[in-house]
Structures are given as structure tokens and as C-alpha cells.
Amino acid sequence: MDHLLNDQHKLVQKTLRDFTANEVKPLAKAIDEGERFPRETVSKMAEMNLFGLPFDTAYGGAGGDTVSYAIAVLELSKACATTGVILSAHVSLCAAPIATWGNDAQKEAYLPGLLSGASLGAFGLTEPNAGTDAGAQKTVATEHDDHFVLNGNKIFITNAGEADLYIISALTNPDARHRGISLFIVEADTPGFSVGKKEMKLGIRGSSTRELILDNVTVPKANLLGKRDKGFAMIMEILSGGRIGIAAQAVGITEGAIEEALRYTSERKQFGKPIISFQNTQFMLAEMETKKEAAKQLLFKAARYKDQGRPYAKEAAMAKLYAGNTTTEVTQQAVQLFGGYGYTREYDVERMMRDAKITEIYEGTNEAQKMVIANMMMKEGAA
Ligand SMILES: Cc1cc2nc3c(=O)[nH]c(=O)nc-3n(C[C@H](O)[C@H](O)[C@H](O)COP(=O)(O)OP(=O)(O)OC[C@H]3O[C@@H](n4cnc5c(N)ncnc54)[C@H](O)[C@@H]3O)c2cc1C
């Protein structure tokens, strides 16, 4: 796979590998156990311009492409899946929508901060009764002279409480259901905007996942992102981009687990030989590696399609579906190869197995990906 990367991609890969070895991997266990957001790593990522990686240099971006971004999330997640999703949520779900649909004033106001990492971004879509059925949301935005007033609740929001800027979806035309949704740029210190319960999670435990409460939040009309009532189609596009980030996270966790398993099975001896000498171990490793490579191909195919300006929704959904399934399976196999030691917190594969599962759930469950893929197939078939 790596032979398909150009010099710029290889440089990103090398830079990230050095960074994760020195700054990310050493913290992964502690932030998981302490359920602690790694603010110090975020500052270092900002210094490296990682938050602006796939954006134009005009507003402070690094001028990289989607493939570079996927490499960055992959390498971070290989060391620490929590750190990977902080970047993914910021880039795909907050900065990218502003770069795509923001007007000049919005870009000037918000992109320099987001791309430099001076401000962290998040995306509030999910509600207690609107998950897969995103169109069932109840948060409303009522129009006044020069502003909207937002009221409602969002749940499970990544980076919530740590973020400075949120993209929030709300109904501007409640009777029209998903045809009446708009997106708003909301600053964290706006009166009436607050964060609620912090979720205690199975994995990615250093990532902040919290509720958002919108209680008469006044948002100037200037902060309406894109066209009024056209938010649902934008949300679908945002999630397609996000799926590339989550597929990269899944491939990264998988790659990390395989590296750990390869090392451990070479060192661990039973019956007087390293357990890697048993054919059963070799066959399991071979299957893990093959599936990881297949997931990586799907990931980079989706990223390349996006970079080439081609439709990529189906490719992104397939990449996330397959990479998510694969990481759940491979991390369990890694634990199996470690035997009893794999079940203890002494080894990273235990954390990796817990971290892996979320990639089958957020930014659309596996079932939601299958709906997207099948819908695209039916459209393609009809064309
Ligand atoms: C750690 C974490 C971080 C998250 N970060 C964010 C974030 O930053 N921003 C944000 O807005 N949201 C975020 N989410 C929310 C996440 O995207 C949703 O949890 C997810 O989309 C599923 O929605 P739900 O939890 O309501 O499950 P439900 O929609 O209730 O689904 C439950 C089950 O039913 C299945 N199902 C539902 N409908 C169908 C159907 N039509 N056909 C077949 N099966 C179906 C699902 O696949 C799933 O298996 C996050 C969630 C978690 C856990």
C-alpha cells in the first residue's frame, strides 16, 4: 500500500510516526485509565499544523490533501485512538464544513483559529431520539430580526466541553422535518449554551463525549452556515467526509494491534518455542494482515476519490463499514494471541479491543453504512 503514497504523504507518515512514538503512545494508557482529555497533545498537534492539514494555505492550512489527513488520523490512532478522533471530529465535522460552505466573513472569522488549532471544533447533530434517524431531531432555531434563538439538547458530542466552536443542527422549519434543518456556527461562550453529562465509555476514554444544552441561545444570522433549510444534505456530506476519518481511525487501531501481536508472539514461548512458530498463530496473523490491507485500500480509495473531486459517499461508507468490522475482529484476535495477558490492562491490546468497537457505531452505525451503500447501488443500477 505504502508504495502508492507520494513523497508528501511519506513525509506526513514519517513525521507522525516520530511524533506518536515520542508524544502520543507514552500517554495512551494513562489517558485511558484516567479518562483524561490529552490537552497537552492537542497543543503539540496545533504546533505541527495538524489541525489545518488538509486545508488551503489561504486561512493558515497546511495545503495537504485528504490522503495526508487519513495518514495522520491513522498514525495517531495506531498509538492512541482517543487522539485520532479528536483530530477527526475537529477537521471533518467542524473545520471542513466551514471551509466548504462558509461565506468569506465566516471563513475569515473562524478558519484561522480552527486551522491553527488555537480553537477546537465539534459537531452537534445527535439527540436523545434522533440518532440513525437524524431527521427526527427536535432542536429548534426560531427566527428573529437579525438572529435565531436555538433551544434543544444534543448528546454524545465528541470534543464537547473542550471545543471552542460548534456546528449545531436545528430545525428552522419544524413542520418540514428533515427538509427544514439548518446548520449554525455557535461559539462555546454564547449565553445559554452549556455542556452537560460526560459519558463514561467502554473505549476512547480520553475523548470527551458530552451532552450539549441549548437554552435560548442567540445566534446572529451571520452564523447560519450555508442555505437555510438545506442542512440535511450538508449533514450527509459532512458525515461522508467524517467516515474517511473514522475508517482511518479503525485502520490505525488494527495496524497497532497487529504490530503488538507480531512482537508478542515472537517473544512468548510455550512448549519450548515462540508461539509464532505454531501454524495456527501464523495463519491468524496472515488473516489479520490481509483484512487490514483490504481496509486500507478502501480507505485510501475513498480519500483519493475525494481529492479528485469525484463522488465518494459510497466509497467512504464501504471503507468505514469494512475497516470498523475488521478492527473489531482483529483486535479480538490480538487479545486471543496474548492469551491471559491480553485480558489484563498491562498490554495495549486490551485497550485497543475496547477502542475498536466505536468505529462500528459513530458517524453512522454499520447498518447506516449498509443503507448508504445499498442506496448508491440502487441509484447506480437505475442510471
Ligand atoms: C463516543 C461517541 C461519540 C459520538 N460523537 C458524536 C458527535 O461528535 N456528534 C454527533 O452528532 N453524534 C455523535 N455520536 C452519536 C453517534 O453518531 C450515534 O450514536 C449513532 O449515529 C447511532 O445513533 P443512536 O446511538 O441513537 O443509535 P440508534 O439510531 O438508536 O440505533 C440503535 C441500533 O438500531 C439500528 N438501527 C437504527 N435504525 C435502523 C434502520 N433503519 N435499519 C436497521 N437498523 C437500524 C442501529 O444500526 C443500531 O444498531 C457519538 C456517539 C458516541 C457513542
Average pLDDT for 351-360 = 98
Query: Using 50, 70 and 90 to split pLDDT, how confident is the model at 383?
Result: confident
CB atoms within 10 A of CB 266: 13
Query: Using 50, 70 and 90 to split pLDDT, how confident is the model at 1?
Result: low
Is the domain of 166 the same as that of 243? no
Share of the chain above pLDDT 90, in %: 98
Q: Is 363 a catalytic residue?
A: yes
What is the secondary structure of 342-354 as a DSSP string? GGSTTSHHHHHHH
Is the domain of 209 the same as that of 160? yes
| Options 315, 363, 367, 380, the catalytic residue | 363
Atom of ligand 1 nearest to the CA of 93: 8
Above 90 in pLDDT, residue 2? no
CA triple 79-82-85, angle to 5 deg: 105
CB atoms within 10 A of CB 375: 13
Predicted confidence at residue 4, as pLDDT, reads: 79
Share of the chain above pLDDT 70, in %: 99
Is the domain of 17 the same as that of 138? no
Q: Which amino acid type is present at position 116? A: S
Average pLDDT for 359-381 = 97
- pLDDT (tens digit, 9 = 90+) per residue, 243-295? 999 999 999 999 999 999 999 999 999 999 999 999 999 999 999 999 999 99
Q: How far, in Å, is the centroid of ligand 1 from the Cα of 273? A: 46
Query: What residue numbers bound the domain in which 56 lies?
Result: 2-116
Atom of ligand 1 nearest to the CA of 122: 8
Pocket of ligand 1 (CB under 6 A): 89, 122-126, 131-132, 156-158, 201, 209, 358, 361-365, 367-368
Mean pLDDT across the chain, nearest whole number? Answer: 97
Q: How far, in Å, is the centroid of ligand 1 from the Cα of 320? A: 14
Is the domain of 167 the same as that of 91? no
Query: What would the grid cell of residue 105 be?
Result: 466573513
CB atoms within 10 A of CB 314: 20
The pairing of strands 140-143 and 121-124 is: unpaired
Radius of gyration, alpha carbons of the chain: 21
Predicted confidence at residue 44, as pLDDT, reads: 98
- Which of 82, 94, 132, 232 has the most ligand 1 atoms within 8 A of CB, as the residue to mutate? 132
Average pLDDT for 226-246 = 98
As for how many domains the chain has, the answer is 3
CA distance 361 to 266: 33
Above 90 in pLDDT, residue 382? no
Q: Among 195, 210, 229, where does a domain finish?
A: 229
Report in angstroms the alpha-carbon separations of 22 from 76, 117, 263, 352. 12, 20, 19, 19
Q: H-helix or E-strand containing 260?
A: helix 231-267
Whichever domain contains 345, its CATH number is 1.20.140.10
Is the domain of 136 the same as that of 31? no
Q: How far, in Å, is the centroid of ligand 1 from the Cα of 129? A: 10
The model's pTM is: 0.98
The pairing of strands 147-158 and 209-220 is: antiparallel
Q: How far, in Å, is the centroid of ligand 1 from the Cα of 156? A: 9
Is the domain of 202 the same as that of 112? no
Query: Using 50, 70 and 90 to split pLDDT, how confident is the model at 329?
Result: very high
Q: Among 205, 229, 253, where does a domain finish?
A: 229
